[in-house]
């Protein structure tokens, strides 16, 4: 891929993002505030998923392994 096609593709993706969020009708300062809030919320969701999802997956695995006949950890 050449640089122009990549630049055009990223530009197209950004335009699609503006259309989906309807932020293309906002004034520039409103759009800036919207993007700031959106990026902040997205970062918090990603961080929360990174921290808490592995813990819950491990606990669910332990729970279901005990239900379906897995050996308890004390005998391993």
* The two structure tokens encoding residue 63: 């729970």
Task: Provide the pLDDT for residue 51.
Answer: 93
- Name which of 23, 48, 55, 49 is nearest 36 in CA terms: 23
pTM above 0.95, yes or no: no
**Phi, psi (degrees; rounded to nearest 5) at 22:** 60, 25
Domain ranges of the chain: 26-63
What parts of the chain have a pLDDT lower than 70?
1, 70-76
- Name which of 46, 1, 33, 5 is nearest 13 in CA terms: 5
């Amino acid at each position: 891929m050449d640089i122009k096609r990549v630049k055009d593709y990223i530009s197209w993706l950004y335009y699609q993002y503006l259309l989906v969020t309807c932020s293309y009708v906002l004034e520039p300062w409103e759009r800036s505030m919207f993007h700031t809030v959106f990026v902040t919320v997205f970062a918090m969701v990603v961080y929360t998923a990174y921290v808490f999802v592995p813990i819950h997956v491990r606990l669910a695995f332990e729970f279901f392994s005990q239900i379906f006949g897995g050996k308890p950890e004390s005998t391993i």
